[in-house]
Each structure stands twice: as C-alpha cells, then as structure tokens.
Amino acid sequence: MAMIDGLAAEKIEADYKRKILSAYDEKMWEANLLRPDSGATGTEQARFVRSIEADSILLGIHRHEAAAGSPSLGFDNLSVRSAIAKRDPDLREIHKQAGEILDGWQIEAREKAA
C-alpha cells in the first residue's frame, strides 16, 4: 500500500510540474528574479523566494531555470563554432552571419535603452 501511495504522490507531482512547465513562458522567465541577468538585488531575490516558497515545486523550477541561464546558440563558443565548421563549412558561415545579426540587434537594443 505504501508503494502505491508513493507512486500516486509521484504522479500528482509530475502532473503538477508538467502543468507549470507548459505555462512557463517568456513572461515567467522575465519575472524570475533569481536569474543572474535579472538585475535584482539580493533583497529582491529573497523577497521573490519568500513569495513563492510555499510552492516548493515552482521555486525549484525557477531555481533550475535561473541556473540554466539564457538559451545560447554558441556564437561565442569556439568549440561549437569548430564543431559546426568541421561538420559543414557552409553551415558555419550561416552560423557566423546569424551571430553577427544577433550582435547588431543587441547593440541596437542597448542604444534604444540608453
């Protein structure tokens, strides 16, 4: 019986995680003050944790997402660039151009913000 109860609890937890993750969007990512690039102070991060600590699963998801960091396409990673060049030189050129376009967008965004 204990094993069946444990499995039922695990299923409930997995369903809840799935529900949270399916709703986790860019807005939730931006609201996550635990991210290193969020600009939040330690006090603000502590308040954020206190506001959601009753939901340990949600807090765990926010911590995991913050540790994972922003998605990266490896534009600044020599290993990624070398692996792409070794596999397909034409693809490496596309990857290089995409990195240059992204850099231009980031410069433009910083200029708008200033």
Number of domains in the chain: 2
Closest to 45 measured CA to CA, from 63, 60, 20, 28:
63
Indicate whether 8 and 64 sit together in one domain: yes
CA 79 to the chain's CA centroid: 21
Indicate whether 27 and 54 sit together in one domain: yes
Amino acid at 61: I
74: tokens are 């490896």
Q: Looking at residue 38, what is its pLDDT?
A: 84
Q: Are 62 and 32 in contact (CB under 8 A)?
A: yes
Indicate whether 63 and 13 sit together in one domain: yes
Q: Which residues contact 16 (CB under 8 A, 6 or more apart)?
A: 57
What confidence tens digit (pLDDT) does each residue in 83-104 have? 999 999 999 999 999 989 988 9
Higher-confidence position of 41 and 67 = 41
Q: What percent of the chain has pLDDT over 70?
A: 97
What confidence tens digit (pLDDT) does each residue in 37-59 have? 888 899 999 999 999 989 989 99
Domain carrying residue 94:
78-113
Closest to 33 measured CA to CA, from 16, 50, 54, 20:
50
Q: Are 98 and 74 in contact (CB under 8 A)?
A: no
What confidence tens digit (pLDDT) does each residue in 6-49 have? 889 899 989 998 988 888 887 888 888 998 888 889 999 999 99
Q: CA-CA distance, 40 to 46, in Å (whole number)? A: 10
Q: Are 75 and 99 in contact (CB under 8 A)?
A: yes
CA 4 to the chain's CA centroid: 34
Average pLDDT, stretch 68-96?
85
Indicate whether 45 and 83 sit together in one domain: no
Q: Looking at residue 15, what is its pLDDT?
A: 92
Q: Looking at residue 71, what is its pLDDT?
A: 65
